[in-house]
Amino acid sequence: MDQTDTKERRDSGSHDITSPEKLVCEYHGSVEIVRAGTLTALVEKLTYHDKLDSSFNRIFFTTFKYFTSSSELLRLLIDRFDCSPPVSHTITTSEWSTQTKPLIRLRVIYVLKQWLEHFWSEPKDIETDRKLRILQSFAEHVTNFTEARAIKHLLITIQRRLAGLDCQRRSISSILAPPKPILPRRLDKLQFLRLDAKEIARQLTIMEAHMFGKVHRDELLNKNWQKKESINTPELAPNVRALIRYSNQLSNWVCALILAESELKKRTQVIGHLVNVANICHQLQNYSAMISILAGLESAPIYRLARTWAMVTERSCNTLRPMQAIIFSAHNYQAYRDTLRVAVPPCIPFLGLLLKDLTFIEDGNPAMTPEGLINFHKYTMLASTIHEIQRLKEAPYSLQPVPELQDYLATQLQSAVDVHEMWGRSCELEPRGRGLGDRPRDLYTPTGGMLTSMVVACMVLDD
pLDDT digits over 148-177, tens only?
Answer: 889 999 999 999 999 988 776 655 555 679
47 and 93 together in one domain: yes
131 and 254 together in one domain: no
212 and 269 together in one domain: yes
Kindly give, in sequence order, each residue whose CB lies less than 8 Å from that of residue 315, ignoring residues fewer than 6 positions away.
272
Is residue 150 within 8 Å of 110, Cβ to Cβ? yes
pLDDT at 353: 92
Q: Domain for residue 267, yes or no?
A: yes
Kindly give, in sequence order, each residue whose CB lies less than 8 Å from that of residue 113, ignoring residues fewer than 6 positions away.
150, 153, 154, 157
Q: Domain for residue 173, yes or no?
A: no
450 pLDDT higher than 60:
no
316, 293, 300, 294: which is closest to 413 by C-alpha? Answer: 293
153 and 235 together in one domain: no
353 and 304 together in one domain: yes
What CATH number does residue 87 fall under? Answer: 1.20.870.10
Phi, psi for 36 (deg, rounded to 5): -165, 165
Distances (CA, A) of 359 to 45, 64, 160, 254, 431: 28, 17, 35, 28, 40
Overall average pLDDT of the 281-292 stretch: 97
Q: Domain for residue 71, yes or no?
A: yes
Domain boundary among the residues 121, 143, 163 is at: 163
Is residue 390 within 8 Å of 217, Cβ to Cβ? yes
Overall average pLDDT of the 44-70 stretch: 95
Is residue 142 within 8 Å of 101, Cβ to Cβ? no
- The count of structural domains within the chain is 2
Residues 194-230: tens digit of each pLDDT: 999 999 999 999 999 999 999 999 999 999 999 877 7
Residues 428-439: tens digit of each pLDDT: 999 986 555 444
235 and 139 together in one domain: no
Axis crossing angle, helix 403-415 with helix 197-213, rounded to the nearest 10: 80
Q: Which of 82-86, 295-299, 416-420 has the lowest mean pLDDT?
A: 82-86
What CATH number does residue 386 fall under? Answer: 1.10.840.10
Q: Which residue has the higher pLDDT, 162 or 85?
A: 162
Overall average pLDDT of the 110-139 stretch: 95
Q: Could you list the residue range(s) of the whole structural domain that residue 342 is in?
A: 192-433+444-459
142 and 27 together in one domain: yes
295 pLDDT higher than 60:
yes
Give residue 4's pLDDT band: very low, low, confident or very high (50, 70, 90): very low
233 and 156 together in one domain: no
Q: Domain for residue 39, yes or no?
A: yes
In angstroms, rounded to a whole number, what is the distance separating the alpha carbons of residues 437 and 59? 59
315 and 376 together in one domain: yes
Overall average pLDDT of the 101-106 stretch: 91
Q: Domain for residue 12, yes or no?
A: no
154 and 202 together in one domain: no
Give residue 458's pLDDT band: very low, low, confident or very high (50, 70, 90): very low
Q: Domain for residue 170, yes or no?
A: no
Q: Domain for residue 140, yes or no?
A: yes
Tally of CB atoms within 10 A around 266: 14
Give residue 20's pLDDT band: very low, low, confident or very high (50, 70, 90): very low
37 and 84 together in one domain: yes
272 and 417 together in one domain: yes
In angstroms, rounded to a whole number, what is the distance separating the alpha carbons of residues 46 and 40? 10
Model-level pTM greater than 0.75?
yes
pLDDT at 321: 94
pLDDT at 320: 95
Give residue 424's pLDDT band: very low, low, confident or very high (50, 70, 90): very high
In angstroms, rounded to a whole number, what is the distance separating the alpha carbons of residues 329 and 317? 19
How long, in residues, is the chain?
A: 463
Q: Domain for residue 72, yes or no?
A: yes
